[in-house]
Amino acid sequence: MNLQQCYQELGGDYKDVMQRLPSEAMIRKFVLKFLNDKSFENLCNAMNQEDYKEAFIAAHTLKGICQNLSFTRLYHSSSEMADVLRDGTQDIVAAKKLISIVVEDYHTTEKAIRKFQAENA
């Protein structure tokens, strides 16, 4: 699997990230670093603890990372999650429904990256 195929599998936009980052080596570096980011874990923990302020921060951070890396599918679900958790407009019912979509999108992303990593070690 090459990096472009990884992006296809995770629902990302490879052409977009190529315009944002100057080289495939840099994209690869940051894609692999994504596996160590704690934003998703923090989001899940905060939602489980009903700490919606922390959940917003984690969702917003995850959204930003996904936007920068052009992880389109996960960007959209984490962005929607951040929007419903935003201070003053918190929609907890919607957030509880959305978390399952974010989880699914995250696992799809993680699985594709781990496959890419294993095949290119």
Q: Which residues of the chain have pLDDT under 70?
A: 88
According to the model, what pLDDT value does residue 66 have?
98
According to the model, what pLDDT value does residue 4 have?
96
- Model confidence, pTM: 0.94
pLDDT in tens, 34-68: 999 999 999 999 999 999 999 999 999 999 999 99
Count of beta carbons in the 10 Å neighbourhood of residue 26 = 12
In order of 22, 35, 75, 87, the CA distances from 106 in angstroms are 25, 10, 10, 24
According to the model, what pLDDT value does residue 88 have?
66
Domains and CATH numbers, the chain: 3-119 (1.20.120)
